Chains A and B, each alone.
Chain A
Amino acid sequence: MNKFFDKIENKLLPLVEIVQSNKYLSAIQYGMMCMMPLMMVGAFCCVISDFPLEAYQTFMAGVFGQELWANWNWGYINVATMGISSIAAIIGTTYELARKDKVNPIPAVIVALMSFFLVMAFTSDGSGFLFSEFSARNLFLALIISIGTEAIYNFCIKKNITIKMPESVPAFVSQQFTAVIPAAICCVLFLIIRVVASNSNFGTVSNIIYTILQAPLTNLGTSFVGTIVCTILNSLIWMFGIHGTNVIQTVWTPLWQAARDANLQVYIQNAAAIRPYIVTDAFGDMVIFLTGTGLTLPLVIEMIFMCKSARIKAVGKTALIPGIFNVNEPVIFGLPIVLNPVMLIPFVLSPVICVSLAYAAMNFGFVPRPTGTPVPWTLPAPFGGWMMTGSWTGGLLQIVLLLISGLIYYPFIKALDKKYKEEENAKMNERIDEK
């Protein structure tokens, strides 16, 4: 068995490294991280503004006035936090790409921003940009522009296609001129793209990317099959002690963010309407990775209260508090689940069953689909589920999932406990014999 595991691990490690150290994927991941502060502030304000209690709403509207209470979050804060997530993504991604290519990052970021604004749609009266252009609806467009403009910028710098100043000109002055040619190239390029797009059936560049790329990829990645594939991959990679969630998120986060934003746009219009996507980033954190990959919190509780082996009890105690906050490395490495054939079955089975159930519950309307408000991934159950769906049934769903997960783990941890206990007893007897 160990030889078999070793063989797979030797194949898996380089494969994971390719995904994780890929220049574009890791830069996109950095860009996604840059969106996080905006998401979290925005989410916090949504909770305050939409707390589902009639008396609270009436009271706050009384204190601040109807209009201000209705607008402070959705009218002002939301459009400046989650509403500009594509801009945050473009800045972060371009910055990290330029840094990886060892060129000056800030001018590259500025060229990318210019190109992005060049293709943004205006309001119908032409008085400004459309708010919705800057949200995650245009996430894919933002990422494509990041990669494209940084490539042009990097190419120009590396090939010395820049305006050269005489040696006597101070460096900080001549540096300002190096970005002029790449900026001009991008300027013309994206102007052409904008004009071509506006003469097509799509009307805007964002519509083209959204319709032919973002929506189909998001639909595929967040479909039931796509989600189960992601769930199984996540558990299997963790089995080898490699951070499966990180690998999965490298690919799935842009899709989940796009889905989240699509839901939010519907939610803003009408909080009661059925939202388009079941699987968003919050579904990932609050269902697939609930209490950590493998939904291990019930396992940890069983380890503390229902097991006899001293080793299992000790690991359980270390793993309890992090587990509540959706971190479970202690149990994965401590029990260990890694390379442990006994734990393989429940560690894959439990998330697959729980994800299927949650998907079904949302699909058939027992639990509302995610509202699209971001949820901090460390938020414990049942609060995470409640915040994700804007309904107490979301919290209940999490509790049901954890109970089911506990049932699935029970026979396996009991078997492991018996084995460990026997080993511990044998060691104890040896020691007594020695004396």
Chain B
Amino acid sequence: MLNVLLICSMGASTGALCEKIKKAADQQNYDINIWATSLATANDEIEKSDIILLGPQIRYMLKKIVEAADGRPVEAIDMATYGMMDGEAVFNKVKEMALNNEK
């Protein structure tokens, strides 16, 4: 099972997005484990994840998270997708990241 970690400042707004991504994954018959955390506690969670997504509001931390991620794919969600809470678009991104990672 794919473990997807979303990081935002408090874990609240990405928390809402999490459910939408999970729903999109279910609809496409993928079983994923997805959860949200805050920036301050990110170090606790990174180890348990396979793929990491950042909320656009903390995209300036991308470099630091990439360092901490130890080779795991990390990307920031783009603002428009995030604003519309578009779970499907984010899930397609996750699939793409997972595929690229396998190569």
Which residues from chain A sit less than 8 Å from chain B, CB to CB?
Answer: 13-14, 16-17, 20-21, 26, 29-30, 32-33, 96, 99, 238, 241-243, 245-246, 314-315, 318, 322, 325, 327, 329-336, 338, 377-378
Contacts and interface: CB of A to CB of B under 8 A. Distances in A.
Given A20-B39, A245-B9, A322-B16, A338 B61 contact: no
B61 A21 contact: yes
Contact of A330 (B8, B59, B84): B84
A17 B61 contact: yes
B13 interface: yes
Given A17-B64, A329-B55, A318 B85 contact: yes
Contacts of A246: 9-10, 39, 57-58
B83 A334 contact: yes
B38 interface: yes
B13 A330 contact: yes
Most chain B beta-carbon neighbours within 10 Å: one of A20, A32, A243, A245: A243
Interface in B35-60: 38-41, 43, 55-60
A96 B38 CA distance: 14
A335 B8 CA distance: 19
A331 B61 CA distance: 22
Given A243-B8, A243-B58, A246-B58, A333 B79 contact: yes
Instruction: Tell me the interface secondary structure of chain A in the complex.
Output: helix
Contacts of A16: 60
B21 to A, nearest CB: 15
Nearest to B81: A333
Given A33-B40, A315-B84, A338 B9 contact: no
Contacts of B39: 20, 29, 246
Contacts of B55: 243, 329
A96 B39 CA distance: 13
A365 B59 CA distance: 42
B83 A336 contact: yes
Interface string B13-25: 1001000000000
A31 to B, nearest CB: 9
Interface string B53-74: 0011111110110000000000
B57 A327 contact: no
Given A33-B41, A322-B16, A315 B83 contact: yes
Given A246-B58, A333-B80, A327 B13 contact: yes
Given A26-B40, A30-B40, A30-B41, A332 B83 contact: yes
A329 B84 contact: no
Nearest to A238: B57
B76 to A, nearest CB: 10
Nearest to B16: A322
Contacts of B2: none
Nearest to A331: B83
Contacts of A315: 83-84
Contacts of B40: 26, 29-30, 32-33
Contacts of A336: 79-80, 83
B39 to A, nearest CB: 6
5 contacts: A16-B60, A33-B38, A242-B58, A327-B13, A330-B13
A315 B86 CA distance: 11
A341 B84 CA distance: 20
Contacts of B82: 329, 333
B12 interface: yes
A29 B42 CA distance: 12
A318 B84 contact: yes
B30 to A, nearest CB: 24
B77 to A, nearest CB: 9
Nearest to B85: A318
A16 B64 CA distance: 12
